[in-house]
Chains A and B, each alone.
Chain A
Amino acid sequence: MQQSLEAEFTAFVAERGQVLLRIAHALTGDRRTAEDLVQGALAKAYARWPRIHGDAEAYVRRIIYNDRVSGWRRTGHGREVPMAEVPDRPDREHDVTERLALREALLSLPARQRAVLVLRYLEDRTVEETAEVLGCRPGTVASQTSRALAKLREKSTWRLEASR
């Protein structure tokens, strides 16, 4: 690759790498898996850098989301979900318990539904933008969001109610 393009790639990773890792961690809930996901996407981007460097971030994000969704299909749903440690501050115990319940429910969602939620609620993408990243129709995004929220409500309610 030309030297200027190499430099651009290095600069891109330096500037956007952490943002991409945040997305990947929100998708996977696991540090190692998140690193692998981002590294794989960046490797594909590097191999095609002369073609995609003008819009590299969109390209890499699309790979991260799509690799995650397709990877989930291959490996099935039986993955262990890492849990955060519960802080020992009594005044926040209720919030923390709620948050952990929701986190557990979130990580148990099908990959596509979780990807929709990450795009909508972490990245603040519109329905149309979310559809473009995931390569589906806006109507599908709306229905997946609705189903995901319904599942979260269902899966986390008993914990929330138990904690009240």
Chain B
Amino acid sequence: MTLEEDVRATVGDLAAGAPMAVGLADAARRQGRKIRRRRRAGVAGATLALIAVAFTPYVLWKDDKAPPVPVSPTPTPTATTTAVRQTTAAKNWAKAPLKLPGGAIVTAVTRNDVGRDRKAGRTLQTGNVVLDRSTGQYVALKNDYYTVWGAPARNRGVVSDGASGLGLIRADGSIKWVRIGYTLDPQWSPDGTRLLASTLTGYTVFDAATGKASRHTVPEAMAACPDNCFFTWLPDGKSIALARRDLTVTQSEDKADMVAEVAVFDVATARQVRTLPVPGVPVSGNAWSPDGRRVLLETTELGGGPGRRVADTTTGKIIKQIPESNARFLPSGQILGLTDKRATLYDANGTVVEVMTLPRDFRERTVSAGLP
């Protein structure tokens, strides 16, 4: 045996002596939550310091201060919500596209219990479900996936198993896997024909029908990216946006990155075309209003705490906070917020218009919304 072969064998022996992985996730989760608590304490301290500075810019102060509307599971009734329309979704939801407030429909329902001890659900009531647009009926995916994101139009959806990249669901239900190096939530183009995936050095655009990829690198933009680092489509389907952190603030494992602005790129050329004074990370999926005047932002907590902020894209002012984390703009300019129990329609300023009770089957799953 050569020395290198001996080293290989010895390192293997050492590895084989590792203890069994028992309770690792729970222990790491407890420790991870402590890190987050320290981070939140840091953010609170920074807020007090900012308040003490009289000339602090309004937008910055607004960003760090507690949002004006407390986040709660359901909207708090106010004078303006007395006329809120209350509706209930059809119980027999699987046989036809389920209509949501604002003219949207349910395009997919994804499991939330991946990694639990119980067996993965494979039925319409328990599994990952997508709308088959050719039949108008919902189908349960046969295999187990982490997540399914329903296509907003035309196509069925895309899946992730946490290892193989992204799986495009073909019209016949089979999966075409597209390997990419790095992915957060893939972003469907507004017309449902392309997928935008953020990579370590930029982004890749896939044709949802063929899987053909167009890869782009924007290393400077990625280097300035905040904690949640992903591109989102603008409503024109030609531009994409990426938040940029405040480079004057030192990054820390214990604090959320401060977002300075949002950069807009031409998706075809990867050239930056403009910046917007938006003080947060645009949310995953249809973050921008059709007229571009409003954007839905994640909250200031690292990883996005519960709720979404509605911001004015010209002034950066936060107009309202809504309680749903799963929220999107509709072509009408209204906002649709989704939980596993309710679909809530808001106007562009975040005022509740309609609340729909969703089928009980959706409990503990995440709903994707799209257009008929």
Are A and B interaction partners?
A: yes
Docked Cα-Cα span, A113 to B184, in Å, equals: 34
Q: Is A152 an interface residue (CB 8 A)?
A: yes
Once the chains bind, are B182 and A42 in contact (CB under 8 Å)? no
For residue A106, which residue of chain B has the nearest CB? B10
Q: List 17 A-B contacts (CB under 8 A).
A: A3-B113, A3-B364, A11-B146, A13-B21, A14-B115, A15-B162, A21-B19, A23-B15, A42-B25, A42-B31, A43-B34, A46-B33, A50-B184, A50-B302, A51-B227, A99-B9, A106-B7
Q: What residues of chain A have their CB less than 8 Å away from a CB belonging to chain B?
A: 1-5, 7-15, 17-18, 20-26, 29, 31, 34-35, 38-40, 42-51, 53-55, 84, 98-99, 102-103, 106-107, 117-118, 121-122, 149, 152-153
Q: Is B6 an interface residue (CB 8 A)?
A: yes
Name the B residues within 8 Å of A107 (CB-CB).
14
Name the B residues within 8 Å of A24 (CB-CB).
18
Name the A residues within 8 Å of B19 (CB-CB).
21, 25, 31, 34-35
Once the chains bind, are B13 and A99 in contact (CB under 8 Å)? yes
Q: Is B77 an interface residue (CB 8 A)?
A: no
Q: Is B249 an interface residue (CB 8 A)?
A: no
Name the B residues within 8 Å of A153 (CB-CB).
3
Docked Cα-Cα span, A11 to B30, in Å, equals: 16
Q: Is B70 an interface residue (CB 8 A)?
A: no
Once the chains bind, are B114 and A7 in contact (CB under 8 Å)? yes
Q: Is B28 an interface residue (CB 8 A)?
A: yes
Name the A residues within 8 Å of B18 (CB-CB).
18, 21-22, 24-26, 31, 34
- Residue in B25, B35, B112, B227 with the greatest tally of chain A CB atoms within 10 Å: B25
Q: Which of A1, A11, A42 sits near B28, CB closer than 8 Å? A: A42
Once the chains bind, are B21 and A55 in contact (CB under 8 Å)? no
Once the chains bind, are B13 and A54 in contact (CB under 8 Å)? no
Q: Is B53 an interface residue (CB 8 A)?
A: no
Name the B residues within 8 Å of A43 (CB-CB).
27-32, 34-35
Q: Which of A5, A17, A54, A98 sits near B25, CB closer than 8 Å? A: A17
For residue A31, which residue of chain B has the nearest CB? B19
Q: Which of A1, A35, A47, A99 sits near B35, CB closer than 8 Å? A: A47
For residue B1, which residue of chain A has the nearest CB? A98
A92 to chain B, nearest CB (A): 13
Q: Which of A4, A99, A103, A149 sits near B114, CB closer than 8 Å? A: A4
Name the B residues within 8 Å of A50 (CB-CB).
184, 227-228, 302-304
For residue B253, which residue of chain A has the nearest CB? A44
Question: How many positions in chain B have a CB within 8 Å of any CB in the partner chain?
Answer: 56
Top 5 A-B pairs, shortest CB-CB distance: A11-B115, A46-B32, A42-B28, A43-B31, A10-B115
Name the A residues within 8 Å of B31 (CB-CB).
39-40, 42-43, 46
Interface bits B2-24 vs A (CB < 8 Å: 1, else 0): 01101111111111111111001
Once the chains bind, are B6 and A99 in contact (CB under 8 Å)? yes
Once the chains bind, are B35 and A44 in contact (CB under 8 Å)? yes
Name the B residues within 8 Å of A39 (CB-CB).
24, 27-28, 31
- Residue in A12, A38, A121 with the greatest tally of chain B CB atoms within 10 Å: A121
Once the chains bind, are B8 and A121 in contact (CB under 8 Å)? yes
B68 to chain A, nearest CB (A): 23
Name the B residues within 8 Å of A38 (CB-CB).
21, 24
Q: Is B122 an interface residue (CB 8 A)?
A: no
Docked Cα-Cα span, A50 to B159, in Å, equals: 17
Q: Which of A8, A21, A48 sits near B302, CB closer than 8 Å? A: A48
Once the chains bind, are A17 and B115 in contact (CB under 8 Å)? no
B300 to chain A, nearest CB (A): 13
Interface bits B102-117 vs A (CB < 8 Å: 1, else 0): 0000000011111110
Docked Cα-Cα span, A25 to B33, in Å, equals: 25
Docked Cα-Cα span, A35 to B18, in Å, equals: 9
Question: With contacts A26-B15, A38-B21, A42-B28 known, what are 5 further pairs, Cβ within 8 A?
Answer: A29-B14, A46-B28, A46-B32, A99-B13, A152-B7
Docked Cα-Cα span, A135 to B109, in Å, equals: 40
Docked Cα-Cα span, A39 to B4, in Å, equals: 31
For residue A23, which residue of chain B has the nearest CB? B15
A148 to chain B, nearest CB (A): 8
Name the B residues within 8 Å of A26 (CB-CB).
11, 14-15, 18
Name the B residues within 8 Å of A14 (CB-CB).
25, 115
Once the chains bind, are B6 and A102 in contact (CB under 8 Å)? yes
A25 to chain B, nearest CB (A): 4
Docked Cα-Cα span, A21 to B303, in Å, equals: 26
- Residue in B31, B110, B325 with the greatest tally of chain A CB atoms within 10 Å: B31
For residue B284, which residue of chain A has the nearest CB? A50
Once the chains bind, are B21 and A54 in contact (CB under 8 Å)? no
A106 to chain B, nearest CB (A): 6
Q: Is B216 an interface residue (CB 8 A)?
A: no
Name the B residues within 8 Å of A152 (CB-CB).
3, 7
